[in-house]
Chain A
């Protein structure tokens, strides 16, 4: 089974990288860009076919390591 994990910066936390990229897009003429937020994308291969178990385990991985929940949110999808 494969998990794809998205870690994003919480809405109330400043994302200076996103702001810089937004500025660059404006410079390039993409003036319609109102906001850019940058996050992380992880692909995790799991040696299990049990969806419920995978769900619990990946959630624990997110809470413990993938995201710092003080400043980041996470979500994930399971396939296979």
Chain B
């Protein structure tokens, strides 16, 4: 299985994503610059965190028009796995690949801390190694992670089981509607989340609960391509 980690000017979690793929599942992974015009070689695309284009205008507003994003849209239509983390989530919503928007945290502060998350849907390609409702610890680090969508969109998210992660209990750190920490598109092959699973792949980092997101993706890909793949 082959992963791409997109790199925009201002991305800063690209190395973490790359290392997470190497260390958790040992699959092939490449950095792909934002000017790339072909992603056909990749089975999964990670859109990393950071401050693409300095977050000018709005988070992800300018990155959504990078030439690589046309390829990300094609990959999404082709059913490839796309995971946007933090700024990557913001870019995917700006690009229209995921519904809603991420606005300023309701407390106005940049929040950088471990968060308890509830796995709200373990039937996705990104979460099949978790149990439904499992509580996991993954860090967040953002100033604009307050997920907003209108009531109609929220009803649709619920009806299609598109809410993938919620902040557990009463720990909502940013004001997100319904404690939403991560969502998928309707087809389930595109997921965006504010927490950073790539920063939670080893006990030395404080948690290894993010590991299973990567093993989930590999697992889903193997099931899709027949279980005879080794490695």
Q: Which A residues lie at the B interface, using CB under 8 A? A: 9, 12-17, 20, 40, 65-66, 68, 70-71
Contact = CB atoms under 8 A, between A and B. Distances in A.
Contacts, number: 40
A70 B61 contact: no
B101 interface: yes
Contacts of B101: 68, 70-71
Contacts of B148: 13-14, 70-71
B107 interface: yes
Interface of B: 57-58, 61-62, 65, 93-94, 99-101, 103-108, 146, 148-150, 175
Contact of B103 (A14, A20, A40, A65): A14
A47 B149 CA distance: 37
Given A68-B58, A68-B61, A71-B101, A17 B106 contact: no
A70 B57 contact: no
B149 A70 contact: yes
A65 to B, nearest CB: 6
Contact of B104 (A16, A40, A66, A70): A16
Given A65-B61, A68-B58, A17 B108 contact: yes
A17 B57 contact: no
B95 to A, nearest CB: 11
A16 B61 contact: no
B15 to A, nearest CB: 29
Contacts of A14: 103, 106, 146, 148, 175
Contacts of B104: 15-17
Scoring A9, A12, A17, A65 by chain B CB atoms within 10 A of each residue's CB, the highest score goes to A65
B54 to A, nearest CB: 15
A71 B90 CA distance: 13
Given A16-B108, A71-B103, 14 more contacts: A13-B103, A14-B106, A14-B146, A16-B105, A16-B106, A16-B146, A17-B108, A65-B62, A65-B65, A68-B58, A70-B101, A70-B148, A70-B150, A71-B148
A52 B61 CA distance: 27
